[in-house]
């Protein structure tokens, strides 16, 4: 069963200590970490089309915007956070990586939704596997696991684990920073496609990713 933000807010023990957590966050971070959020696809590139006609490009953009909004509301902009696109436009893969380079980003997180002809559901994270960048690969895996833990435990998505791929945005970032590509569920699965139709669930996923990043940056970078 997939869980909404409202349910999570009231049942998790973490809501009791949230203020303490944020105060600790302010002390730990002497300077802002630069995060680039990359909502996949855009413009004429719709990405995957869900069973309910929901489009991957719309889901990724909504969640990216919400992550940035929650960073401002909950964390008082403690992360210096940017998006590779802020509206429904097609940005080249190379330009997405160039933005991270120009901003000297500490981490790069690309958001996507998965699709399959088979009956498959759940979340997974991809990292690039290059022997020359073993340290950054390990950091990428750590960041991916942190986001998966937060998302699957709080929201009820099946955890499909961390996998390796030669995706261009990973290949072009991994030599300089930890980089991951998050597959936030299968829009070809009825339950997961319907999940993203509700604004409260967009907020829930965004908060899970944001807190996964917080947990990682607070301990792993």
Average pLDDT, the chain: 89
pLDDT at 220 over 90: no
Q: Minimum mean pLDDT among 17-21, 126-130, 179-183, 216-220: which range?
A: 17-21
Q: In what order do the strands lie in the sheet with 107-114?
A: 79-83, 33-39, 107-114, 179-186, 123-127, 159-164
Q: CB neighbours of 213 closer than 8 A, spacing ≥ 6?
A: 35, 79, 107, 109, 143, 146, 147
pLDDT at 82 over 90: yes
* Predicted local confidence at residue 17, as pLDDT: 43
> Across the chain, which distance is largest between two alpha carbons, in Å?
48
**What's the pLDDT band for 2 if we cut at 50, 70, 90?**
low
DSSP state of 55: B
Q: CB neighbours of 36 closer than 8 A, spacing ≥ 6?
A: 81, 82, 83, 84, 96, 99, 100, 103, 105, 107, 108, 109
Query: How far does Cα 2 stand from its chain's mean position?
Result: 17
Q: Minimum mean pLDDT among 1-15, 38-52, 143-157, 177-191: which range?
A: 1-15
pLDDT above 70: percentage of residues in the chain: 86
**What's the pLDDT band for 102 if we cut at 50, 70, 90?**
very high
Q: Dihedrals φ, ψ of 189, to 5°?
A: -95, 130
Kindly report whether the global pTM for this prediction surpasses the value 0.75.
yes
* Predicted local confidence at residue 51, as pLDDT: 94
> Cβ atoms within 10 A of the Cβ of 218, count?
15
Q: Are 205 and 148 contacting, i.e. CB atoms less than 8 angstroms apart?
A: no
Can you read off the two tokens belonging to residue 172? 């072009």
* Predicted local confidence at residue 30, as pLDDT: 53
Can you read off the two tokens belonging to residue 7? 């349910």
Q: Are 3 and 154 contacting, i.e. CB atoms less than 8 angstroms apart?
A: yes
What are 146-187's pLDDT values in tens digits?
A: 999 999 999 999 999 999 999 999 999 999 999 999 999 999
Q: CB neighbours of 131 closer than 8 A, spacing ≥ 6?
A: none
Q: Are 184 and 57 contacting, i.e. CB atoms less than 8 angstroms apart?
A: no
* Predicted local confidence at residue 1, as pLDDT: 59
48/63 Cα distance (integer angstroms): 16
- CA contacts within 13 A on the Cβ side of 46: 8
Listed residue (153, 166, 183) closest to 3, CA to CA: 153
Listed residue (109, 161, 146) closest to 220, CA to CA: 146
């Amino acid at each position: 069963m997939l869980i909404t933000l409202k349910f999570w807010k009231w049942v998790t023990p973490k809501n009791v200590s949230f203020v303490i957590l944020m105060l600790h966050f302010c002390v730990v971070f002497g300077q802002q970490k630069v995060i680039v959020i990359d909502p996949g696809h855009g413009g004429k590139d719709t990405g995957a089309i869900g069973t309910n006609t929901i489009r991957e490009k719309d889901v990724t953009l909504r969640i990216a915007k919400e992550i940035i909004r929650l960073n401002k509301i909950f964390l008082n902009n403690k992360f210096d956070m940017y998006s590779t696109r802020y509206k429904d436009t097609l940005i080249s893969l190379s330009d997405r990586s160039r933005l991270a380079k120009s901003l000297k980003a500490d981490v790069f997180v690309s958001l996507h939704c998965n699709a399959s002809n088979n009956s498959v559901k759940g979340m997974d994270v991809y990292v690039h596997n290059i022997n020359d960048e073993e340290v950054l690969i390990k950091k990428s895996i750590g960041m991916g696991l942190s986001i998966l833990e937060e998302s699957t435990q709080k929201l009820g998505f099946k955890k499909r684990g961390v996998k390796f791929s030669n995706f261009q945005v990973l290949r072009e970032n991994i030599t300089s920073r930890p980089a991951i590509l998050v597959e936030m569920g299968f829009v070809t699965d009825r339950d997961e496609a319907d999940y993203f139709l509700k604004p409260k669930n967009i907020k829930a996923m965004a908060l899970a990713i944001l807190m996964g990043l917080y947990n990682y940056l607070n301990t792993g970078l």
